[in-house]
Chains A and B, each alone.
Chain A
Amino acid sequence: MNELDRRSFLKTSVLGTSAALAAPSLLARFQSAAPEEKNTKPVIRRTLGKTGISLPVVSMGVMRADSPALVRAALKSGIVLFDTAHGYQKGRNEEMLGDVFTGVQRSSYVIATKVPPEDIDWQTNTIGPGTTKDAFLKRLDESLLRLKLDSVDILYVHGVSAREHVLHPALIAAVTEAKKSGRTKFVGVSTHKNMETVIDAAVESGVYDVVLAAINFQYNAPENFRKATARAAAAGIGIVAMKTMAGGYFDKEKKKQVNCKAALKWVLQDPNITTCIPGMTTFDQLQENVGVNEDIKLTGEEKDSLTMRESGGGMYCDGCSRCSSPCAKHLAVPEIMRAYMYAYGYGATLQAKEVLAERRYSADPCRDCLICTAECIKGLPIRERVTDVSRLAGVPDEFLA
């Protein structure tokens, strides 16, 4: 992030028990400078289905209970929707939000919380007889107490992954009663698994207004998901996206960081997704994410960053054209590697085939070479990949995405 941007974001001042750090003139300068730092770009907002709630495309998933200052800063920087859950930090997350929003004008923020069914066997994914309307509403009432609110804006049934969950009579009765009694304005379901099924069940129910779904650039069936969100949109159901950063890192060692802006923008390319709720733990992340509210256009560079960095530049060719040893048949290796990335990185097989077609490559251009002479300086298995992706050349377009 640009240092100056960060500084203006902080708009800071200095004081101290140590006299050397007291700098009234500097303080005055920063304070007077603040009003000039207005944003000129409009915030991109979308409407959350039939709820009619208009939201900036970036919202906040409240991850930790120990950072009220971050939530306050988010509110000041234009974030409207704050997402929490009954179970986060055993309720401390909701308590923290309740404290932060005390005294804040109610119409200036939207609160969503998630309440899980009382009796669900996570191993078999079955809802037991302990899941009752009353048990669910009791949990909701605890959440409202912690949030110091009479009503939340969106109440989700937390973590459902089957049609039977979405349509469970006790849960339908509970959310209907929650809405009727004014404990929530709108109701929804949250899901990490079998999302398309859950979305369709929400449409089928005629009860739910919103679905909170885990979607990011690493999802293996983005087209299926997009079709499902389109069906939801047609039924007036709003979609909120979570887990948009795919964990934030490409590797378990946490050395290869995901380009967060790119990841958010990737999700927002689906016009039926109203807003994302990335988790944030630093002011830097907040500022970076809020920036996406003004620009969701995904650049080619950002798109590439979501695939090529997946293995630190190791999984996909970055087109350096410095193949240490050339192909004996003069194949345009970087081009074929690009096709490979389209096919395996984005799942865009038709696009991959088009790249191959431009060069008029056959289904197996390596077949008459005994030994491959082309070598990648990064050690990518060129022959294996060329053979693999070039098979697309023989597949009819109707079978490709």
Chain B
Amino acid sequence: MNKYGVLAVLVFFTVLWNSAFTQNVTDVQFPQADGFKLTPGEKVYTSDNLFEIIDGAADLFLTYGFEKLYTAEYSAPGIRYIRIETYRHSSPANAFGMYAQERPEQTRFLPIGGQGYMEEGVLNFYCGRYYVRMSTNDTGENVRNALQSIAQSVAGALHQEKMLPALFGFFPQEGKKQNSEMYVNQDFLGYNFFPAAYSVQYVGEKLFIIDFSGEEAARLALKKYFGLLQMPAQNSPENIPENITENPVAVNDPHQGSVMFRLCGARLAGAADIRDAEAAKRNLDALARAFQGAH
């Protein structure tokens, strides 16, 4: 290869390197918005420095598999700012979980991404692996419209699935409190042997699904739990009630009160915060039937 050939190869690889680097840096491309000047944040935050921007709130983001935060600011004459923070998480479930931790119980929900809502000066939504928070110090109608418009553009540009985690589809509709879905990715009910759990509020209880890697793992967790609760001999940790796959089994947890469980293969369905035991049992059965119907 002559010297020009070597130079050409060098240039080729330099361009390739630069484009790969640029792609990495601009993982999120903030869309332009009519009438606004877009200023992307200079810094991409990671788990090492997230606290610099959100301080103590960073801890919870980290438990939800936070990976990177991209920021930008939209400004226009007469409006001080619209700020956007786009948090990338390790999975859609984790992004949803973090979003749901911050979502008010009652708010104005919006069909943006998988789910979104708007309050005074705030528009937050979840979209695939991203949790997007937008805020403004201007509450005029124009700005509210701009917030929604930018949010829709961002949701589109993220190219993610725009739906809630699929397991929520199994929960029964009757008695369900709308938009009450939650995802906790560790230590559900305060126990480290109960991993990721999906929950939904109902009129008489909170229904949940704990997702295990297999039935054996689910049974092992139950054994640990029953062991802690000191179940009577006939239901000792070594002897999980046979009927737990057919009927809900209820225990009295000293911290959580009455909790019901039903084993559905690799998933442990259950009910906590029970105010109406009959309704809880009925909903738990419906949840189990939904699983059975899916297989």
Contact = CB atoms under 8 A, between A and B. Distances in A.
Interface stretch (B4-12, B212-220, B252-260): B252-260
B250 A16 contact: yes
B52 interface: yes
Contact of B52 (A72, A119, A122): A122
B60 A64 contact: yes
A7 B251 CA distance: 15
B62 interface: yes
A20 B241 contact: yes
A88 B104 contact: no
B232 A159 contact: no
A13 B102 contact: no
B60 A89 contact: yes
Contact of A281 (B186, B229, B249): B186
A377 interface: no
B137 A130 contact: yes
Interface residues of A, number: 55
Nearest to A277: B56
Contact of A15 (B187, B258, B281): B258
Contacts of A192: 51-52, 55
Contacts of B3: none
B16 to A, nearest CB: 28
Contact of B55 (A12, A123, A158, A283): A158
Interface string B28-68: 00000000000001110001000111111101101100000
B173 interface: no
Contacts of B102: 89-90, 92
A143 B247 CA distance: 44
B249 A87 contact: no
Interface string A85-103: 1011111100000000000
Nearest to A124: B42
Contact of A18 (B57, B241, B255): B241
B145 interface: no
B192 A15 contact: no
A173 interface: no
A7 B104 CA distance: 36
Interface string A175-194: 00000000000000010110
A158 B59 CA distance: 15
A347 interface: no
Contacts of B250: 15-18, 21
Contact of A6 (B137, B186, B228, B248): B228
A104 interface: no
Contacts of B54: 87
A15 B62 CA distance: 37
Interface in B259-292: 260, 277, 281
A90 to B, nearest CB: 4
A20 B190 contact: no
A114 interface: yes
Contacts of B71: 123
A145 interface: no
B231 interface: yes
B184 interface: yes
What 3 A-B pairs are tightest by C-beta distance, nearest first?
A159-B55, A23-B232, A281-B187
Given A12-B230, A18-B241, A123-B42, 4 more contacts: A16-B250, A26-B232, A89-B60, A190-B56
28 contacts: A3-B227, A6-B228, A13-B254, A14-B231, A15-B252, A16-B249, A16-B250, A17-B249, A20-B243, A21-B232, A63-B63, A65-B101, A73-B255, A85-B55, A85-B57, A87-B54, A87-B55, A87-B57, A89-B101, A91-B104, A130-B80, A158-B55, A158-B56, A159-B55, A192-B52, A247-B62, A281-B63, A281-B190
